Chain A
Amino acid sequence: MRRFRVGSALRRTALLCMLILLALAVTPVASHHAFSPVYDAKKTIVVEGVVTQFRFVNPHAMMLMDVTDKKTGKVVKWNVEFAGRLNLEEAGWTADSIKPGELVKVTGNPTWTGSQRMAFVKLVRADGTTLEPGRAQRLSAIEEERRQRAKQREQQPAQQATPEK
């Protein structure tokens, strides 16, 4: 059997993706209540289906999708819970960010009970474009702040060592 060897760049990319997903998973959703009684933030699942409804409301936006079981052909309704409109609008979302009829692949945190419901982490459309919560943009900005902070830290000893002219 021929084994596919994963290149180091690909491995690094995969590791980075895992870290981003981990970061998203452990960042609490700012909302009117904790998500922890309903969803297991330490786990993620991926579900693919067709959007039937997107409700851009407060305190939590909701999406309904039809998911077809590839083996049985049976269609099961899934419910995806998001942060609220108040929160999503901050990240530039609108009521049209997700349209009925779209084929989407959604990553989310599963419920403790294993029901057909998840807390939104990431959405990928059929054309490859993605939707992420506002906290993903926030985390990206923070990482840049941390890089600048580390750079300043490295420069400080050099500056201190430079004699005054």
Chain B
Amino acid sequence: MLRCAWVLLALVVTGCSEAPPAPAPKPMPSKLEGMWSDPPPTAVGTLCFFACTDAAIERLNALLDDPKNDARPFPQLAAEAQKHQTDNYLRPRLTEAALKTYPLDPADDPGFLRCEPWGLAKQMFAPHQLEIRRAGDDRIELRYGEWEAVRTVHVDGRAVPANVPPSRLGYSVGHFEGETLVVETSAVAPGITWWDSQHSDQFRVTERFTRSDDGETLNLTATIEDPWGLREPVVAKKIWRWAPNQKITPYDACEPATEFKKGTGEP
């Protein structure tokens, strides 16, 4: 009986005392922090200036390794690799619903017509500057030169809230796997992908950012899913170059299109 009383007393004391302090936030690897910009001037870097897939990279390397192509201009080879990517990788992954409007006419781009900033599906691959900075212990900010867009990545272990409304850049949570920053984003409003297809609010993406061993490049592998628009995930890649002297300048002079022709996109 006395033993039970001691146990009860111990439980009461424990319950009334202050909660143990939360563990100190785990320091974030800083290898990724800083300013990045356009890829190195290599063949693959240029192919992936916006975004690319392994299908395009492999095709380009095969074309470059064939002596018959030595006299052909690089843009021609890059265009051929991109066409291979479209025909053999992207198009077969699109659902019937997405194929109805694919490829979208570039003249219908809201960014072009009305200066509307990109949604996440294009913004995450935006050319030029990307600045990665921690913003406190629980968040990382991704700042892009294009459109001066800012994404917040919550790295405090939370999940994407169930009731968060879809927005242009979605809701991002992240964690580190060693030196790799893994960012998962959902709650993205319907928009346009980097391959000029529509996507739904079921769009979600997992981005993996890693720095190369020599420290000179930042590599992104993004696995994109959208049950409405994709039969299976698209795995896209992008490269940035370490550019500590670059800066993001104001993006304040966009003018809506006044003269244009429709039907100039990919046939």
Q: Which residues of A contact B (CB under 8 A)?
A: 19, 22-23, 26-27, 30-34, 36-38, 55, 57-60, 84-87, 89-90, 111-113, 115, 117, 134, 137-139, 141-143, 145-146, 149-150, 153
CB distance from A95 to the nearest CB of B (A): 10
A sample of 13 inter-chain contacts (CB < 8 A) reads A23-B74, A26-B79, A30-B38, A32-B118, A36-B265, A55-B253, A57-B252, A85-B249, A86-B248, A90-B128, A142-B43, A149-B65, A153-B67
CB of B17 within 8 A of chain A? no
Asked whether B65 lies within 8 Å of A34 as measured between CB atoms, the reply is no
Asked whether A22 lies within 8 Å of B259 as measured between CB atoms, the reply is no
Q: Which among A112, A117, A143, A145 has the highest number of chain B CB atoms within 10 Å?
A: A145
Asked whether B75 lies within 8 Å of A89 as measured between CB atoms, the reply is no
By a CB distance below 8 angstroms, the chain A residues around B50 are 30
By a CB distance below 8 angstroms, the chain B residues around A19 are 73
CB of B41 within 8 A of chain A? yes
Asked whether B257 lies within 8 Å of A37 as measured between CB atoms, the reply is yes
Q: Which among A30, A32, A89, A139 has the highest number of chain B CB atoms within 10 Å?
A: A32
| A112 to B257 alpha-carbon distance, docked (Å) | 13
A30-B38, A141-B41 are known; give 7 further A-B pairs, CB within 8 A. Answer: A32-B147, A34-B264, A36-B264, A37-B261, A111-B259, A112-B259, A138-B46
Contacts A36-B264, A86-B129, A86-B145: A142 and B259 contacting too (C-beta < 8 A)? no
Contacts A23-B73, A23-B75, A142-B46: A37 and B262 contacting too (C-beta < 8 A)? yes
Contacts A37-B261, A57-B253: A145 and B43 contacting too (C-beta < 8 A)? yes
Contact of B246 among A36, A90, A141 (CB under 8 A): A90
Size category of the binding interface on chain B = 35 or more
Asked whether A153 lies within 8 Å of B65 as measured between CB atoms, the reply is yes
| A115 to B257 alpha-carbon distance, docked (Å) | 14
| A143 to B222 alpha-carbon distance, docked (Å) | 29
Asked whether B41 lies within 8 Å of A59 as measured between CB atoms, the reply is no
Asked whether A142 lies within 8 Å of B112 as measured between CB atoms, the reply is no
Asked whether A142 lies within 8 Å of B127 as measured between CB atoms, the reply is no
| Segment of B92-100, B103-111, B207-215 in the binding face | B103-111
CB of B251 within 8 A of chain A? yes
| A150 to B211 alpha-carbon distance, docked (Å) | 29
CB of B37 within 8 A of chain A? yes
Contacts A23-B75, A58-B252, A90-B37: A145 and B42 contacting too (C-beta < 8 A)? yes
Asked whether A89 lies within 8 Å of B106 as measured between CB atoms, the reply is no
Asked whether B265 lies within 8 Å of A30 as measured between CB atoms, the reply is no
**Smallest Cβ-Cβ distance to A143: which chain B residue:** B74
Asked whether B257 lies within 8 Å of A38 as measured between CB atoms, the reply is yes
Asked whether B64 lies within 8 Å of A149 as measured between CB atoms, the reply is yes
Name the interface residues of B113-135: CB closer than 8 Å to any CB of A. Answer: 118, 127-129
**Smallest Cβ-Cβ distance to A41: which chain B residue:** B264
By a CB distance below 8 angstroms, the chain A residues around B147 are 32, 59
Contact of A150 among B42, B70, B74 (CB under 8 A): B70
CB of B146 within 8 A of chain A? yes
By a CB distance below 8 angstroms, the chain A residues around B252 are 57-58
**Smallest Cβ-Cβ distance to A87: which chain B residue:** B128
By a CB distance below 8 angstroms, the chain B residues around A145 are 42-43
CB of B161 within 8 A of chain A? no
Asked whether A58 lies within 8 Å of B246 as measured between CB atoms, the reply is no
| A47 to B159 alpha-carbon distance, docked (Å) | 57
CB distance from B99 to the nearest CB of A (A): 20
By a CB distance below 8 angstroms, the chain B residues around A137 are 41
CB of B260 within 8 A of chain A? yes
CB of B250 within 8 A of chain A? yes
Across chains A and B, which 9 residue pairs bring their CB atoms closest together, nearest first?
A33-B112, A141-B41, A34-B106, A57-B253, A37-B260, A37-B107, A36-B264, A30-B127, A112-B261
